[in-house]
Structure 1
Amino acid sequence: MTTTLITGGTVVSATGRAPADVLIDGEKIRAVLAPGSTLLGHDLTASVDTVVDATGKYVIPGGIDAHTHMELPFGGTAASDTFETGTRAAAWGGTTTIIDFAVQKYGERVQDGLAAWHAKAAGNCAIDYGFHQIIGGVDDDSLSAMRGLLDEGVSSFKLFMAYPGVFYSDDAQILKAMQVSRDTGLLTMMHAENGPAIDVLAQQLVDAGKTDPYYHGIARAWQMEEEATHRAIMLADLTGAPLYVVHVSAKQAVEQLAGARDRGQNVFGETCPQYLYLSLEEQLGAPGFEGAKWVCSTPLRSRAEGHQNAMWQALRTNDLQMVSTDHCPFCMKDQKELGLGDFRKIPNGIGSVEHRMDLMYQGVVTGEITLERWVELTSTTPARMFGLYGTKGVIQPGADGDVVVYDPNGHTSIGYDKTHHMNMDHSAWEGFEIDGHVDTVIARGRVIVDGGRYLGSKGDGRYVKRGLSQYLI
C-alpha cells in the first residue's frame, strides 16, 4: 500500500487548529503527529512513498457537498454534468465526497429509481459518492419501499412542495412520508416553496408580458418560501419527524427555522453559495436573457432586502448548519435558451460544485466566518448530518484519507476560461477572485490533484453507504 506524509501544515478541524503532520497509510489516515515526529523510531520522510510539503498551508478534511444533481432530468433536458465530469470538477475544487439524489417519480418504483442512479454513477465517479432518495410519488408502494432505504445505505429522502405535476407532494402525502421518517430515523429533506401559488403568480406575470428571467425571482417570492417552510415545520412537529430544509434563501425562512430550533424541534437547514453572494437585482436582472444563467430555485433574493447578510449571520449563529451547492448545471445554448420568451421554461439550476470550498473560504478572508467554521460548514457537519462522520469529515486515525492542502497565500480567479472544469458553456461565478487556493487534493489516500495537475481517473470514487444522522434526538 502507498504511504503519504503531509508535513509542515496547520491541521484545521471544526474545533481548532494546530501544527501537525498527517500520515496516510493506504486508504486510511494512520496518525496525526507532532511536527517532525518519528514513528517507531523511523524518520517518516525517508520511509514513506510520498511527502507533501504543506508549510504555511492549511490541512483540512476533504469537502463534502451533500446536495448535487448530476444528470438530473429537468424541463425537457438534463443537467449537463455527468457523474464523470461533475465529480472531476468537484475534485479540482477540494470536494472529495458528494451526495447526489436518486429520483423516483409518480408511478415509478423507488427501488428502480435508486438502481438507475447507481447505474449512472458506478465506475464513472472521480470521488466517493452517496445518494439521497427523491420521493416524487408518495403512495402505499413508495411508503413501504422507503422503509428499506437504510439497508441500501440511504438514510435521507427528499420531498418537494414545489413543481406541481413533476415532483410535488401535497400536505397529506408529506404527512404520511414524515410518519415513515419518524418511525425509521430517515431524515426528511424538504424543498420548501408553495408550488401551486407560485404557478399562479408565474402565469399572471407571463400573461402581462413579463417573461424575462428576472420575473422567475418575482414569481417565487420570499413569502412562498417562508410559508412552505413554516408548513413543513408544523407537519414535522406533528409527526415527530426530523426535518432538513434545503437551499434556504429567504431571511424569513431562516426565522422560521430558528424559532423551531429554539422550541427544541429537530429542524435543520442549509444554504448555498449563490444565496450568500448573488442577487435578484445584479444577476437575475442582468440585461436581456443573460439572467437565465442564474435561474435556480429557490431563487436569488434581493440584496436591498438584506437576505445575503442574513444568510451569513445564520451560518455564524448556527441557525443554518451547513453549505451545499444544489449543483444542477445547464448550458445556455440549447438548455437555458429553452426559456427564451417564457422564464417558466428555463431549466432551474446553476453550477457551483467546483467552487464551494473557495467561495466559503473567501468568507473567512472577509471575516464572515472563522477558519474552523469553514471546515465545519463544508465537511464536518455534512458528515455528521448525513451519517458519514468518522469515515469522512475529520482528520483522525481510522478516517478515510480524504485531505485537502489549502494555501491561504494563493489566489484563485474563477471564470469559464480560468478555474472551470464543469461541463458548462459559461460560469455563474465569472470574475470572482478568491484569496486562497486548493493546492493538493487526496482522496482515500491517493493524490488526485496537485500543483495544477489532475492525477485522478474515472472510477476512482466508490459508493459509500450512510448511517443515520448524528443530529437526531
Structure 2
Amino acid sequence: MSCNSNVHSAISPSHIAIRGGTVVNADHQFRADVLCRDGRIVAVGEQIEVPAGAAIIDAGGQYVMPGGIDPHTHMQLPFMGTVTADDFYSGTAAALAGGTTSIIDFVIPAPQQSLLEAFHIWRGWAEKSAADYSFHVAVTWWSDSVAAEMETLVRQHGVNSFKHFMAYKNAIMADDSVLISSFARALELGAMPTVHAENGELVHLLQQQLLAQGMRAPAAHPLSRPPQVEAEAAGRAIAIANVLQTPLYIVHVSCAESLAAIARARAAGQRVYGEVLAGHLLIDDSVYANPDFAGAAAHVMSPPFRPAEHQQALWKGLRSGDLHTTATDHCTFCAGQKAMGRSDFTKIPNGCGGVEERMSVIWDAGVGSGWLTPSEFVAITSANAARIFNIYPRKGSVSVGADADLVVWDPLASRTLSAATQHSLGDFNVFEGRTVQGLPSHTISRGKLVFERGELRAERGAGRYVRRPPFAPQKQILQAPGKHDKQGSKQK
C-alpha cells in the first residue's frame, strides 16, 4: 500500500489541547491535560486553560505518552546492490502512523569515503522526512582524516554516536584496530560508540562452508550466524570499551549469550547499553523453514531470528534493565530484491520492516501480558533512547518545554497487522496476521496532528534534523574510587 494513498493534510492550529487522558512518562503516570503551542508543550496539569480556537483531542480512557523514538532505522539505504523500498518520506510516514515521531538513522560511508561527504548525502536524502530524524555515523575505515571528521561531526553537526559494523567482511566491517582507534576518539569527543556485534570472519567462513555443502536456501542464513558469533563480538567490543573506559551501545541484541555479556559488564560497573528489535522479541527461527523462497527470504536479516528460548531471555533483559531500548532496524526490501539471492542465500539483501508496528506489538505482548507497566513501555520505546543519545527531556517526555511529539494511546483498540494495510512501501510484513490490542488513536508531531484514528496526514519535508549535543568528555579511569591516605596509597 502506498503511503500516498491514505495521506491527508496535517492539522496544525497554533494550539492543540489533549484533555481527559492519563499522562504516562517513564517515571510515573498521572491524570492531566496537555497543551501544545507552536511545536512545544506549554502546559501539563489538571483543568488547564485552553485558548479559543485550539484544536481539542478527547483522550478520555486513553494514555498520553511521548511519541516513540526508533533509534535504529535504515531509510533509502543502498545495500547489497540495491536500495531499500522505503525512503525517508514513506518510512517516516509509516512511523507516524504507528506512534513513532522520531528516528535515528545511519550514515554509512563506503570504505575510504569521507564521513562528511556521506553525511551530507544522507542529509539531502532525509530532507523529505515527515518526522524528526537524526543520524548515527558509521566508521568503516580509519585514518587521521576520519579522526578529524569525527570532531567536525560532533562539534558542528550534532552527531554524538558512531556505528561500527563488526560483520560484513570485504565490505564495511571494522576490525579491532578501527574499533580501538574510533572508540578512543569517541571518548575524547564525548560521543557514544555503537556496534553491530557479529564476528565477520566467522560468518564469512560459515557461509563458505554451507555453500560448499550445497546449502543455498534461506534456511542456511541462521546457520551461518549462530548465537556464538554474536556473543563473541559483543564480548570483544565490551572488553575493548572496558580497557578504554568508553561507554558502549550494542544494537539489535538477539540472543541470550549477548545479553549475558551485557549483564555481566553492567554488574561490574561498566556503561554498556543494549538495544533489542521488536522482531527478535516476537518472531522465532521457524520462519526460515518456510518452503516458499519468498516467505523465508523476507525474514533474512542480521542477526537472524533465533529459537524461541532467546525471546524469553530478551523480555527478561528488558524487565531487568539490562536491555534499554527497542528498535526495528527498519530496512525494507521487496520480493524482487530478495530474489537476488535465490541461488545463494548470502546475496539476499538483509532487512525487514517494522517501524509502524513496533509500538503496538510491544504494547500488546509486553503491557498486555502484564510483563511491562505503561511507564516501562515509555522507557523502552522513547525515554531511554532520548537519555542515551542526549536529547532528553526535549524528546521522550511529556513535560513543559519538550517538543510536542505525542501519541494518544487507546489500550482497547485492536487491529490485525498486514502488508495489505501497512503504510510502508515494502511488500511484506513480518508480523502478518498478528492481532494486537493497543494502538495510537492520534499522533502529534511538532505540534501538528499527523494521524487520527486511521487517517494519516504526514507531510513531506515536515520533519526536522535533530542535533544531539556531545556528552562531557570523560577522563580514563584506571581504578575505582577508594579511600586513600595522604601519600595516595590505599588505606588498609
What interval of TM-score do these two structures reach, taking the shorter chain for normalisation?
A: over 0.9
* TM superposition score normalised by structure 2: 0.91
Q: Distance in 2 between matches of 1:14 and 1:108?
A: 40
Match of 2:452 among 450, 453, 465: 450
What is the CA distance between 1:444 and its match in structure 2? 0.8
Match of 1:401 among 393, 401, 404: 404
For the Cα contact (< 8 Å) 2:444–2:451, is it kept in 1? yes
The corresponding residue for 2:358 is 356
How big is each residue's C-alpha offset from its partner over 1:238-293, in whole Å with a ceiling of 9 and x where there is no partner?
Answer: 11111100000010000000101111111111000111101112x12222312111
Match of 2:317 among 314, 317, 320: 314
How big is each residue's C-alpha offset from its partner over 1:202-239, in whole Å with a ceiling of 9 and x where there is no partner?
Answer: 11111111111121101101000011101001111111
Q: Distance in 1 between matches of 2:66 and 2:179?
A: 35
The letter for the 2-side match of 1:383 is A
Q: Distance in 2 between matches of 1:30 and 1:315?
A: 32
For the Cα contact (< 8 Å) 2:111–2:141, is it kept in 1? yes
Q: Distance in 2 between matches of 1:176 and 1:143?
A: 8
For the Cα contact (< 8 Å) 1:10–1:17, is it kept in 2? yes
The corresponding residue for 1:174 is 179
The letter for the 2-side match of 1:428 is V
Question: Does residue 126 of structure 1 match 2:130?
Answer: yes
Structure 1 gaps of 5+ residues are none
Relative distance call for 1:218 and 1:81 in structure 2 (3 A) is same
The corresponding residue for 1:435 is 437
Q: Distance in 2 between matches of 1:470 and 1:9?
A: 38
What is the CA distance between 1:16 and its match in structure 2? 1.6
The corresponding residue for 1:329 is 332
The letter for the 2-side match of 1:308 is Q
How big is each residue's C-alpha offset from its partner over 1:114-139, in whole Å with a ceiling of 9 and x where there is no partner?
Answer: 000011011x1111111110111222
Relative distance call for 1:470 and 1:64 in structure 2 (3 A) is farther
The corresponding residue for 2:463 is 461
Provide the secondary structure at the position in 1 that maps to 2:392. coil
Question: Does residue 139 of structure 1 match 2:151?
Answer: no
For the Cα contact (< 8 Å) 1:66–1:100, is it kept in 2? yes
Relative distance call for 1:145 and 1:393 in structure 2 (3 A) is same
The corresponding residue for 1:22 is 34
Question: Does residue 414 of structure 1 match 2:417?
Answer: yes
How big is each residue's C-alpha offset from its partner over 1:51-90, in whole Å with a ceiling of 9 and x where there is no partner?
Answer: 0000001100000011100011111111111001101000
For the Cα contact (< 8 Å) 1:413–1:434, is it kept in 2? yes
What is the CA distance between 1:347 and its match in structure 2? 0.5
1:52-451 equivalent positions in 2, closer than 5 A: 52-122=57-127, 124-151=128-155, 152-281=157-286, 283-289=287-293, 290-303=295-308, 306-333=309-336, 335-362=337-364, 363-418=366-421, 420-451=422-453
The letter for the 2-side match of 1:369 is L
Q: Distance in 2 between matches of 1:267 and 1:356?
A: 23
Q: Distance in 1 between matches of 2:473 and 2:300?
A: 32
For the Cα contact (< 8 Å) 2:188–2:474, is it kept in 1? no
For the Cα contact (< 8 Å) 1:385–1:469, is it kept in 2? no
Provide the secondary structure at the position in 1 that maps to 2:470. coil
For the Cα contact (< 8 Å) 1:386–1:470, is it kept in 2? no
For the Cα contact (< 8 Å) 2:33–2:48, is it kept in 1? no
For the Cα contact (< 8 Å) 1:385–1:471, is it kept in 2? no
Q: Distance in 1 between matches of 2:470 and 2:34?
A: 28
The letter for the 1-side match of 2:469 is G
Identity across the alignment (%): 39
* TM superposition score normalised by structure 1: 0.95
Provide the secondary structure at the position in 1 that maps to 2:184. helix
Q: Distance in 1 between matches of 2:42 and 2:472?
A: 24
Question: Does residue 33 of structure 1 match 2:18?
Answer: no
Relative distance call for 1:4 and 1:21 in structure 2 (3 A) is same
State the 4+ residue runs in structure 1 displaced beyond 2 angstroms: 468-473
For the Cα contact (< 8 Å) 1:406–1:440, is it kept in 2? yes
Structure 2 gaps of 5+ residues are 1-12, 476-492
Relative distance call for 1:313 and 1:471 in structure 2 (3 A) is farther
Provide the secondary structure at the position in 2 that maps to 1:203. helix
Q: How many residue pairs end up in the alignment?
A: 460
Provide the secondary structure at the position in 2 that maps to 1:412. strand
The letter for the 1-side match of 2:68 is G
How big is each residue's C-alpha offset from its partner over 1:22-58, in whole Å with a ceiling of 9 and x where there is no partner?
Answer: 0111111000011xx243xxxx2x6242000000011
Provide the secondary structure at the position in 1 that maps to 2:61. coil
Q: Distance in 1 between matches of 2:206 and 2:165?
A: 18
What is the CA distance between 1:352 and its match in structure 2? 0.6
Q: Distance in 1 between matches of 2:425 and 2:453?
A: 22
Q: Distance in 1 between matches of 2:319 and 2:472?
A: 21
